Amino acid sequence: MGTVWVWLLKMVASALLPILGVLTPAIKSALTDFLSKLYLDALATPNVWDDFVVGLLLDILSIPRPTAP
């Protein structure tokens, strides 16, 4: 991954992670479930950019990527 991408991910993560810290466990769980399902849906499309964008969101939010069935 290029230096610019690493820098950008760090900036976005530093902005979002404190916000996630104030969310209730129920909302964090719902967000995790939503993004995990969205990632599996993205994998099912032929567009690799779907995979990339949703995977990037998961990485930024430190949510493990689910494996396709």
Distance in angstroms (rounded) separating the CA atoms of residues 67 and 49 = 17
Q: What pLDDT is attached to residue 35?
A: 94
User: Which tokens belong to 64?
Assistant: 């493990």
Domain map (residue ranges) of the chain? 3-60
What's the average pLDDT block by block, 10 residues per block, for the chain (69 residues)? Answer: 73 78 89 95 95 88 85
Q: What pLDDT is attached to residue 67?
A: 87
HEC string of the chain equals CCHHHHHHHHHHHHHHHHHHHCCCHHHHHHHHHHHHHHHHHHHCCCCHHHHHHHHHHHHHCCCCCCCCC
Instruction: Count the neighbouring beta carbons within 10 Å of the beta carbon of residue 35.
Output: 19
